[in-house]
Amino acid sequence: MPRSDWQEVTVTSNGQRIHLRVSGDSGPLVLLCHGFPESSYAWHHQLDALGAAGYRAVAMDMPGYGRSAKLQQPSDYRITELVAYCVGVVEALGESTAVIVGHDFGAPVAWASAWTRPDVFRAVVGMSVPFGARGLAALPGDPFGDVRPTLTHRELAGPGLTFYQDYFADRSGKAEKEIEQDLRTFITSGFYGLSADSPLPPELNGVDLTSLPPEHVIGFVRAAMCVPDGEGFAVNLQSPETLPGWLDHETLDIFIAELEFGGMRSPLAWYTNADLNWEVLAQYQGQPLTVPAMFIGGDRDVATIWSQEARLRAAEYIPDLRGSVIIPNCGHWIQQEHPETVNQELLTFLKGL
């Protein structure tokens, strides 16, 4: 539900307009970075809890989303620029440091921010996607980006399929056209289909999806997150007869209205930079992520499932990993499906800093 006591703030960061939802007037700064296809409102449960606990909680409309600037070139959404926007928001708010938290594509932004700018980001929490170094997405078979991402994508997808990130990145506009022609249905199906409320295939009932053998992980990703030739991404999604209990109509309407206003071109442009991100982060490969860190995933979250290798090998890069939490019966929309658990884990982590 919209909160009248939140502040709606617009700042200039990295030369562009960034819209913020802010809870709490003082206290340590916690910067919240959403993913695709959401907005700062994705953190409405966390804004309330963190603000009430004495933190200055700030949720960004990430560049290209909500009421933030829509950038002209796809390369304007490369990871180093996204990190610069996060740094700029901290500075615009009159602070010198912050804890950064990210979910979905916001998780790689948060990890990269803490990895490359530990002088600003004194701790980090990644949700859904664990640390993937220069590869960002922590993909099976190449969790830390030793291979150019688009090559990994093609091998992961196999013949007759396109990994969803490459489908979204195709600048011919196929994904944009698919989503825009019935935005409400796509977004509703996406929230439901990637949540723990959508039924599993019978053969996966009772299976611990977060510890699948590697070959089964590949099969799972191909079935859930790859697009067959001649099809659209919606073939992987399910439409609900009724909304799940964690997603009310008012919240869904807010997300859809913000996407209708800004359009899908900018959010999809983030995905065009997989190889460019890999190139610009090359200088950091092999360096540890030194600040205190935490990962939160869901046992039914497709990204948590595909990234198990990165999660299990996290100590190779993160010497101060203070927790790796997998929430039961939780799909991709972690902070909304299980807000109380997420809030508790975040507050425990923050109090320990």
Residues involved in catalysis: 104, 332
What is the Cα Rg of the chain in Å?
19
**Number of CB atoms found within 10 A of residue 165's CB:** 23
- Say if CB 196 and CB 300 are below 8 A apart: yes
DSSP state, residue 2: -
The closest of 101, 108, 97 to 124, measured between CA atoms, is 101
Report the SS3 class of residue 83.
Answer: helix
Cα first-last separation, the chain: 31
The H-assigned helical ranges of the chain are: 44-52, 79-92, 106-116, 149-157, 164-169, 174-181, 183-193, 214-225, 249-262, 265-269, 274-280, 302-306, 308-312, 334-337, 339-351
- Say if CB 291 and CB 122 are below 8 A apart: yes
Separation in Å, CA 277 to CA 132, 153, 230, 323: 12, 14, 28, 27
Name the token pair of 329.
Answer: 């019966």
76: left (phi over 0), alpha (psi -120 to 50) or beta: alpha
All residues at 6 or more sequence positions from 286 whose CB lies less than 8 Å from its CB, including other chains: none
Number of H helices, E strands in the chain: 15, 10
Could you give the CA distance from residue 44 to residue 42 in angstroms, rounded to a whole number?
A: 6
Name the token pair of 100.
Answer: 């950064």
Identify whether 37 is preceded by a cis peptide bond (ω within 30 of 0): yes
**Number of CB atoms found within 10 A of residue 319's CB:** 13
